[in-house]
């Protein structure tokens, strides 16, 4: 098993200020395998791929030897994604998590062995950049030759391959790649300088403008939070103006800037070698100067200079501009009128009729007595708003003509309970799609055991009464507010007597006086069953109900694996626009039908539909087959 050398520190565990690892002698040269490096990392000690000349300070110019490279991954990638990547699978020798890696957000380091040692920091930096280029998810900040990595205490490797090594021509390919990048950057710099010269030719006073703008910006002083802006400004001037820009900057600083060791000359060299000067322009200077109060000189455009001595041409041009302006105003007016007319036209398709009340036609007179006019069963049906305390008994409901009970959505589970208590054998929920039937029913049956127990067990205190033996409210409270039991047929009379003769409050009387539970219990089956039928979709929109598909749907479906039904199946929902469905839509024209429906048009679908017959998938349509089934 071959070994390699790397830099190691044995004094720091976990994270610390990087300056604590930059002094002379902070790093020692260690020789080992990938397994040895993984153990060093597991103990929490920091390490670095490069070896420093004579264990001197951790400066990039001192990092002139390396046998391995390291990359840092801190984004949406997982360890499994890394192992499956072709480049990592073939050439990575060690993969281990960092100290702050979490199950929901993996952070890890990858170590690669070089085919041969690198002997200078510039080549090492090029190889680091080229390695990052092969791993698009790697942290691009890990490109410097003196880069180091903190240890991960307790972290074991998830990838270990002692035989892994980068290709033999990796270093040559990295150098060729870097040369190509430098050539591209050189061309960009030349193009920028060319544009600067062209601009300077058109603006002879360009140098004076830059010098004037620089006067509004004071040199750097620590603590002013301007370092980044000034570096960008310096890079822009160096990039656009070249040597002339460097002279202007030297004059601007004049030794007044507090730039630290090496002073302003070091800053100029550093910025010129970095990518900052390749991205910035002299416009950064003008932007910063404007914030400090600088006003750029006003110039006449080339289009107006020609009119300085030609009044006739100027007046002709002004007339043309006025004509263009009038034409533009007229065009805008035409556009507004067209938009308003178009909106009014299309708006009528998405609105209900202006007279929604349908007028009843007069019954036609027929001579034949065998002909009977059809009347819908809902015509003339009464409606009765109820709350849990005002739910009628089954007998009362039938005497009132079987009215439709109107219930607020939040009170539905409690009304269901009262309906069962009062002997209703079947309850039909008749609400629109999306009205909350599924949710209310799910809440009710989720608590079914407690509800059934409350129905079968008597309350702490009960008292049987007749309409003639109703106590006064005061006696009822003294007795502990017992439930006053009476026959279902006597309950309305008892409530009326309590209010009229004994001074009861109507709500208290309705809550206290109830029908005999034993009589109601005789009408219930010993074993309760519930059938929930829904034709609005394949699965109810509530996770507390299990469902059997009743009607085919043309839309795609999403499986919500983080939400399960009581039987453990994933929760289904309609795929929203832009989502990739887990279950493909049965109808290839589903989106078109939905958009048409949103505009107020409902188009029928089926074997006889003219729209479906025009579809290219008509003969093999899975949706039509599901409808037929």
One domain for residues 487 and 604:
no
Out of 137, 168, 199, a domain closes at 168
* Residue 261 within a domain: yes
Q: For residues 182 and 291, what is the distance between their CA atoms, to the nearest angstrom?
A: 35
Enclosing H/E stretch for 157: strand 157-160
Measure the CA dihedral 505/509/512/518, to 10°: 180
Question: Where is the domain boundary, 108, 137, 168?
Answer: 168
State yes or no: pLDDT of 14 exceeds 80.
yes
Residue 339 structural domain: 318-348
Q: Could you give the number of structural domains in the chain?
A: 5
Task: Kindly report, residue by residue over 37-85, the tens digit of the pLDDT.
Answer: 999 999 999 999 999 988 888 888 899 999 999 998 887 788 888 888 8
Pair 234, 268: CB distance under 8 Å: yes
Q: How many helices (H) and strands (E) does the chain have?
A: 24, 15
Pick the range with the lowest mean pLDDT from 141-145, 380-384, 400-404, 415-419: 380-384
503 and 391 together in one domain: yes
Q: How confident is the model at residue 173 (pLDDT cuts 50, 70, 90)?
A: very high
Instruction: Tell me how far apart the alpha carbons of residues 597 and 569 are, in angstroms, rounded to a whole number.
Output: 31
Q: Which of 297-311, 313-327, 362-376, 480-494 has the lowest mean pLDDT?
A: 362-376
pTM of the predicted model as reported, rounded to 2 decimal places: 0.41
Tell whether 189 and 163 lie within a shared domain. Answer: no
Rounded to whole angstroms, how far apart are CA atoms 377 and 357? Answer: 19
Q: Is the pLDDT of residue 522 over 70?
A: no
Whether residue 157 sits in one domain with residue 9: yes
Predicted local distance difference test score (pLDDT) of residue 601: 75
Whether residue 41 is found in the same domain as residue 142: yes
Decide if 451 is inside a domain: yes
Same domain, 164 and 189: no
Q: Is the pLDDT of residue 478 over 80?
A: no
CB 187, CB 259: distance < 8 Å? no
E strand spans, 338-441: 383-385, 404-406
Distance in angstroms (rounded) separating the CA atoms of residues 512 and 221: 83
Alpha helices in 149-262 (DSSP H): 170-202, 206-214, 227-241, 243-253
162 and 189, same structural domain?
A: no
Task: Specify whether 434 is located in the same domain as 508.
Answer: yes
DSSP string, 486-512: E-TTTHHHHHHHHHHTS---HHHHHHH
Among 444, 373, 457, 439, smallest CA distance to 414 is for 444
Helix (H, G, I), strand (E, B) or coil at 516: coil
Domain final position from 478, 498, 521: 521
- The answer as to whether 559 is a domain residue is no
Is the dihedral angle over the CA atoms 365, 370, 374, 375 positive or is it negative? positive
Q: Which helix or strand (DSSP H or E) is residue 291 part of?
A: helix 283-291
Q: Which residue has the tokens 């407690």?
A: 450
Q: φ and ψ at 579, to 5 degrees?
A: -90, 145
Q: Does one domain contain both 405 and 471?
A: yes
Question: Do 233 and 332 have their domain in common?
Answer: no
Q: What is the pLDDT of residues 220-236, one digit of tens each?
A: 888 778 888 888 888 88
Give the pLDDT of residue 334. 84
Residues 334 and 226 in one domain: no
pLDDT score for 388 = 82
Q: For residue 443, count other CB atoms closer than 10 A to its CB.
A: 15
**pLDDT recorded at residue 401:** 81
- The answer to the question of residue 156 being in a domain is yes
In a domain, 71, yes or no: yes
Res 92: pLDDT: 92
């Amino acid at each position: 098993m071959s070994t390699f050398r790397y830099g190691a520190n044995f004094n720091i565990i976990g994270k610390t200020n990087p300056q604590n690892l930059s002094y002379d002698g902070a790093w020692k040269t260690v020789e080992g395998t990938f397994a040895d490096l993984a153990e060093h990392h597991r103990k929490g000690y920091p390490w670095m791929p490069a070896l420093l000349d004579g264990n001197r300070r951790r400066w990039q110019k001192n990092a002139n030897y390396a046998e391995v490279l390291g990359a840092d991954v801190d984004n949406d990638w997982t360890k499994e994604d890394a192992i499956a990547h072709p480049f990592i699978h073939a050439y990575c020798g060690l993969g281990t998590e960092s100290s702050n890696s979490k199950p929901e957000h993996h952070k890890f380091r990858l170590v690669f062995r070089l085919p041969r040692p690198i002997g200078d920091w510039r080549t090492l930096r090029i190889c680091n950049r080229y390695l990052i280029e092969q791993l698009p998810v790697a942290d691009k900040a890990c490109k410097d030759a003196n880069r180091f990595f903190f240890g991960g205490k307790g972290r074991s490797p998830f990838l270990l391959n002692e035989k892994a090594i980068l290709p033999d021509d990796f270093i040559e390919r990295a150098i060729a790649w870097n040369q190509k990048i430098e050539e591209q950057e050189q061309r960009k710099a030349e193009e920028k300088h060319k544009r600067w010269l062209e601009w300077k030719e058109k603006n002879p006073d360009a140098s004076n403008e830059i010098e004037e703008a620089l006067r509004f910006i004071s040199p750097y002083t620590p603590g002013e939070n301007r370092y980044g802006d000034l570096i960008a400004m310096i890079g822009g001037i160096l990039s656009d103006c070249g040597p002339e820009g460097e002279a202007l900057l030297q004059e601007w600083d004049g030794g007044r800037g507090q730039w630290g060791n090496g002073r302003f000359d070091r800053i100029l060299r550093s910025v010129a070698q970095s990518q900052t000067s390749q991205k910035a322009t002299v416009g950064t200077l003008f932007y910063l100067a404007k914030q400090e109060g600088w006003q750029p000189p006003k110039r006449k455009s080339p289009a107006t200079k020609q009119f300085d001595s030609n009044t006739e041409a100027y007046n002709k041009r002004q007339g043309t501009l006025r004509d263009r302006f009038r034409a533009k105003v007229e065009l805008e007016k035409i556009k507004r009128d067209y938009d308003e007319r178009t909106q009014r036209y299309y708006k009528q398709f998405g609105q209900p009729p202006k007279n929604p009340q349908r007028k009843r036609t007069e019954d036609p007179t027929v001579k034949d007595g065998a002909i009977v006019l059809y009347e819908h069963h809902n015509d003339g049906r009464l409606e009765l708003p109820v709350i849990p305390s005002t739910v009628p008994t089954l007998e009362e409901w039938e005497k009132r003509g079987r009215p439709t009970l109107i219930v607020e959505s939040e009170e539905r589970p409690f009304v269901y309970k009262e309906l069962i208590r009062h002997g209703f054998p079947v309850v039909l929920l008749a609400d629109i799609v999306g009205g909350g039937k599924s949710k209310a029913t799910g809440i009710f049956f989720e608590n079914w055991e407690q509800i059934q127990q409350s129905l079968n067990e008597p309350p702490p205190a009960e008292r049987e009464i007749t309409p003639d033996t109703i106590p006064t409210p005061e006696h009822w409270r003294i007795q502990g507010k017992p439930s006053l039991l009476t026959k279902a047929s006597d309950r309305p009379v008892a409530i009326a007597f309590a209010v009229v003769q004994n001074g009861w409050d109507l709500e208290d009387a309705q809550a206290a006086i109830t029908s005999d539970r034993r009589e109601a219990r005789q009408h219930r089956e010993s074993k309760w069953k519930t059938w929930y039928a829904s034709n609005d979709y394949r699965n109810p929109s509530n996770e507390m109900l299990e469902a059997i598909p009743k009607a085919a749907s043309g839309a795609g479906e999403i499986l919500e694996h983080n939400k399960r039904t009581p039987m453990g199946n994933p929760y289904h929902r309609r795929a929203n626009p832009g989502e990739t469905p887990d279950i493909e839509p049965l109808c290839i024209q589903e989106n078109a039908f939905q958009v048409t429906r949103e505009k107020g048009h409902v188009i029928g679908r089926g074997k006889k539909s003219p729209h479906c017959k025009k579809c290219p998938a008509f003969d093999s349509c899975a949706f039509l087959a599901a409808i037929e089934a």
